[in-house]
Amino acid sequence: MGGDHAPEMVLRGAEIALVRFPQLRFQLFGQEGALQPLLDTMPTVKAASTIHHAPDVITGDTKPSAALRTGKRSSMRLAIDAVADGSADCVVSAGNTGALMALAKIVLKTMPGIDRPAIATFLPTQRGESVLLDLGANVECDAENLVQFALMGDAFARAVLGVTKPLIGLLNVGSEDLKGVDSVREAAARLKDTPGICFHGFVEGDDIAAGTVDVVVTDGFSGNIALKTAEGTAKLYSHFLRAAFTNSVMAKIGYFFAKGALDRVKERLDPRRYNGAMLLGLNGIVVKSHGGSDAVGFANAVGVAADLIINGFLERIREELALVRPPVEGPAGTPADPVTT
Amino acid sequence: MGGDHAPEMVLRGAEIALVRFPQLRFQLFGQEGALQPLLDTMPTVKAASTIHHAPDVITGDTKPSAALRTGKRSSMRLAIDAVADGSADCVVSAGNTGALMALAKIVLKTMPGIDRPAIATFLPTQRGESVLLDLGANVECDAENLVQFALMGDAFARAVLGVTKPLIGLLNVGSEDLKGVDSVREAAARLKDTPGICFHGFVEGDDIAAGTVDVVVTDGFSGNIALKTAEGTAKLYSHFLRAAFTNSVMAKIGYFFAKGALDRVKERLDPRRYNGAMLLGLNGIVVKSHGGSDAVGFANAVGVAADLIINGFLERIREELALVRPPVEGPAGTPADPVTT
């Protein structure tokens, strides 16, 4: 029920996702009265789906605290509950990000070794695609959070991008060791000594699109600003191109011949192609679609979730965390601290 | 002497700047043996210039503290000294940013009412141009710093962009009042009540290129990341366009007809066009050119400095600060605090 064009956009997205992943089965959480008539018009989705009636809806304005208190019968909560009880492999939502994060944290809990979940996405670069995290779940981070983000980003890049040894960079305002804020410098010092992590060092804003590293790690404030600045700049470029191509007869002729090439560029930068941000660090797969997404974008978010399941993302990240921070056996009666040991 | 291609790039830049601003006169600080032979080949610059020999050079690796201690006879220091003693109206440098900021702060001092200088630039947007600050001078900022940046950005937009009532936005991860970190929320609350400031509220990363506001205010960490992410994304788009236009015969024909239009887009986004970042908040005009700039970019940095002088930027900002924070007359013997009153 989440997102600007739900529930139809979600069902159409499911329809598109089934073409690439015919093995998918959907549990649709939402208002049965709204879902059933739509589903009756989409035979492939209908055959792959079961409806689970949820009387309540968490809107875009619902505060996370209110979602926790009063959202027990909401479509979002019931969908997350299904992941928690094992009846679903993942949840994909285009709803309120803050509420989704809050509910997912309470219901699924963070993995051992992870203090705070992060939101990650992948982005186009000059060398292919890279992962960027955190995108806004944690606006203030200490060095330990950043190190944990690096570990989660590493596992995410392996599972979604298929990179065997992802190169990890820490976003900073310069590449010299002395640059930046304390938390970033301390995180860099620790990542240099983290086994299994291929740490490149500091990267700057322009390294994101250059593809200098496979995973760009940063706090949620800077990550959100970087992601949205990149989106805004791509839109500006398209805006200038449109203006230029309608400006003269020569340019219009050029557009006629170049339309195919221009469409390919547009497609490579299409934000819908990169729709599907992952809430990392939870005991379950939670993928967030952009709220303003259309069906094509939503299908890509479903595709990200499918990739994560097929590639055993949760097992990978658990193995990686265990390798880096093996659980310590404390003396009898002394519980070991999985985070700081 | 600063920058990757100095001193020739600087002199060629001065030559180009003279075409637009024939009234300019240059004091060239640097190694006379390097400058004189070059100057002999450029009659217009030679006629407008005097050489001031500076035996020392601050390199890109010089730490700000070392520049302060040992750079007394460097070209950078002597050029700033010339602004301080009134023999120059401004300084333009393509050298080490950290050293330039440190020397300018010590020699020129910050204006009354300003705790820390900021670095500002203007950027292309869908509606024209906007100002972004801080770009990295202050990686950690409190609410008071952000409010001061807003005042400085306001005066800068009036002087360089010619906007009479600039709209000011605070960069954040969402537009709701509760979003973001404490310093940003507190700065927003204070800017709402600041006289003479037209405060829009929070803006997000994509608002920068959209041109939602005339001045985007943020801390130096996020500002630096936003600026470089925008540069990187524009480069990525150009990279995709180049690849697309060489990909098929149709596209190549299209390119032939559309070349003029594409060149116009390239020109509108040319980083050289936006070269010339201003160190705001000092008792003097200090403009920083990108270190990797060529002569065209350096000429634009000189042009920014010329605009600031011609439009009486320093007087404007002093008036604005006095209006917002009128100097308080303390009782005899009690010095008034110009910052917090």
Please write the tens of the pLDDT for every residue from A151-163: 999 988 988 888 9
What is the average per-residue pLDDT within B238-256? Answer: 85
Q: Can you list the alpha helix ranges (DSSP code H) found in chain A?
A: 8-20, 32-39, 43-48, 64-70, 75-84, 97-108, 143-156, 182-192, 205-210, 220-245, 249-269, 295-310, 313-324
B310 touching A (Cβ < 8 Å): no
Instruction: Count Cβ neighbours within 10 Å for each residue of A301-328 and write b for 16 or more, e otherwise.
Output: bbbbbbbbbeeebbebbbebbeebbeee
Say whether both B305 and B271 belong to one domain: no
Would you say residue A27 lies in a domain? yes
Average pLDDT of the segment spanning B299-303: 95
How many of the other CB atoms lie within 10 Å of CB of A69? 9
In this structure, is residue A260 part of a structural domain? yes
Per the structure, the complete domain to which residue B201 belongs is given by: 115-276
B238 and B168 within one domain: yes
Residues A260 and A127 grouped into a single domain: yes
- Tell if the CB–CB gap between B256 and A260 is shorter than 8 Å: no
Domain boundary, last residue among B237, B256, B276: B276
Distance CA A306, CA B41 (A): 66
A225–B222: do the CB atoms touch at under 8 Å?
Answer: yes
Dist CA A226 CA B136 (whole Å): 15
The Cβ of residue A61 has, within 10 Å, a number of other Cβ atoms equal to 9
**CB distance A40 to A81 below 8 Å:** no
Q: What is the pLDDT of residue A178?
A: 67
- The model's pTM is 0.88
Interface list for A 112-151 with B (CB within 8 A): 124-126, 136, 139-140
Distance CA B266, CA B136 (A): 26
Determine the Cα–Cα distance for residues B2 and B28; give it in Å rounded to an integer. 12
Closest in A126, A229, A236 to B236, CB measured: A126
* pLDDT value at residue A26: 97
Query: Which residue intervals of B21-92 are DSSP H helices?
Result: 32-39, 43-48, 64-70, 75-84
Q: Give the pLDDT of residue A338.
A: 41
The beta-carbon neighbor of A236 closest among B209, B235, B247 is B209
Partner B contacted by A220 (CB < 8 A): yes
β-pair type (A26-30, A49-53): parallel
Whether A206 contacts chain B with CB within 8 A:
yes
A18 and A67 in a single domain? The answer is: yes
What pLDDT, on the 0 to 100 scale, is given for residue A334?
A: 41
pLDDT(B333) > 70: no
Whether the per-residue pLDDT at B324 is higher than 80: the answer is no
Q: Are B8 and B152 within one domain?
A: no
Based on the structure, what is the number of domains in chain B? Answer: 2
Cβ–Cβ under 8 Å, residues A111 and A283: yes
Q: Which of residues 267-286 of A touch B (CB under 8 A)?
A: 268-269
| Residues A101 and A161 both lie in one domain | no
Q: Specify whether B182 is located in the same domain as B241.
A: yes
Question: If you count residue pairs, one on A and one on B, with CB atoms under 8 Å apart, how many are there?
Answer: 207
Please tell me which residue, B244 or B12, carries the higher pLDDT value.
Answer: B12
Query: Would residue A34 count as lying in a domain?
Result: yes
Question: Could B171 and A239 be called an inter-chain contact, meaning their C-beta atoms sit closer than 8 Å?
Answer: no
Alpha-carbon distance B12 to B21, whole Å? Answer: 14
A55-79 pLDDT, tens digit each: 998 988 888 899 999 889 999 999 9
Is residue A84 assigned to a domain?
Answer: yes
Residue-wise pLDDT tens digits, A116-175: 999 999 899 999 999 999 998 888 899 999 999 999 999 889 888 889 999 999 999 977
How many residues are there in chain B? 341
At A230 the pLDDT is 95
CA B250 to CA A86: how far, in whole Å? Answer: 53
pLDDT of residue B329: 47
Are A113 and A339 in contact, with CB atoms under 8 Å apart? yes
DSSP letter (8 states) at residue B94: -
The verdict on B139 and B266 lying in the same domain is: yes
Closest CA to A97 of B176, B18, B266, B288: B176
Residue with tokens 């060239």: B28
For chain A, how many helices (H) and strands (E)?
Answer: 13, 10
The verdict on B67 and B101 lying in the same domain is: yes
User: CB of A231 within 8 Å of any CB in chain B?
Assistant: yes
> What pLDDT, on the 0 to 100 scale, is given for residue A104?
96
Within-domain flag for A319: no
Weakly modelled stretches of chain A, pLDDT under 70: 177-178, 325-341
Q: Do B140 and A208 touch (CB under 8 A)?
A: no
| pLDDT, average across residues B88-113 | 94
Q: Which of B240, B267, B290 to mutate to test the interface with A (most CBs of A within 10 A)?
A: B240
DSSP 8-state class, residue A326: P
Q: Is B232 on the interface with A (CB under 8 A)?
A: yes
Rounded to whole angstroms, the Cα distance separating A84 from B37 reads: 76
pLDDT in tens, B130-181: 999 999 888 889 999 999 999 999 988 988 888 999 999 999 997 776 677 8
Give CA torsion, residues A123, A124, A126, A131, to 10 deg: 20
Q: Quick count: other Cβ atoms within 10 Å of Cβ B315?
A: 11
In a domain, A336, yes or no: no
Q: Which residues of B touch A118 (CB under 8 A)?
A: none
Whether residue A139 sits in one domain with residue A80 = no
A258: helix, strand or coil: helix
Q: Are residues B166 and B308 in the same domain?
A: no
Smallest CA-to-CA distance from B118 within B101, B130, B143, B106 is with B101
Residue at B166: amino acid letter: P
CA distance A67 to A69: 6
Residue A102: count of CB within 10 angstroms of its CB:
21
Find chain B residues with C-beta within 8 A of A97's C-beta. none
Q: Do A2 and A99 form a contact (C-beta atoms < 8 A)?
A: no
**What whole-number distance in Å separates Cα of residue B137 and Cα of residue B152?**
14
What is the pLDDT, as a whole number, of residue A326? 58
- ipTM for the assembly: 0.87
What CATH code is carried by the domain that includes residue A1? 3.40.718.10
Residue B37 belongs to domain with CATH number: 3.40.50
| C-beta atoms of A258 and B261 within 8 A | no
Question: Does a structural domain hold residue A248?
Answer: yes
Q: What does the pLDDT average to over B86-102?
A: 94
Choose among A204, A239, A244: nearest Cβ to B228: A204
Chain A residues whose beta carbon lies within 8 Å of the beta carbon of residue B174: 136
Asked whether residue B54 falls in the same domain as residue B123, the answer is no
Distance in Å, alpha carbon of B84 to nearest chain A alpha carbon: 29
Q: What Cα–Cα distance (Å) separates residue B215 from each residue in B29, B163, B165?
A: 33, 10, 11
A197 with A168: CB under 8 angstroms?
Answer: yes
Q: Are A115 and A144 in contact (CB under 8 A)?
A: yes
Mutate: best of B140, B141, B173, B179, partner A, most A CBs <10 A: B173
Q: What is the pLDDT of residue B332?
A: 43
What's A160's DSSP letter?
Answer: I
- Domain assignment present for residue A332? The answer is no
A61 touches chain B (CB under 8 A): no
Tell me which chain B residues have a C-beta less than 8 angstroms from the C-beta of A124.
Answer: 236
The pLDDT score that the predictor gives to residue A328 is 52
Q: Which residue has the higher pLDDT, A264 or B223?
A: B223
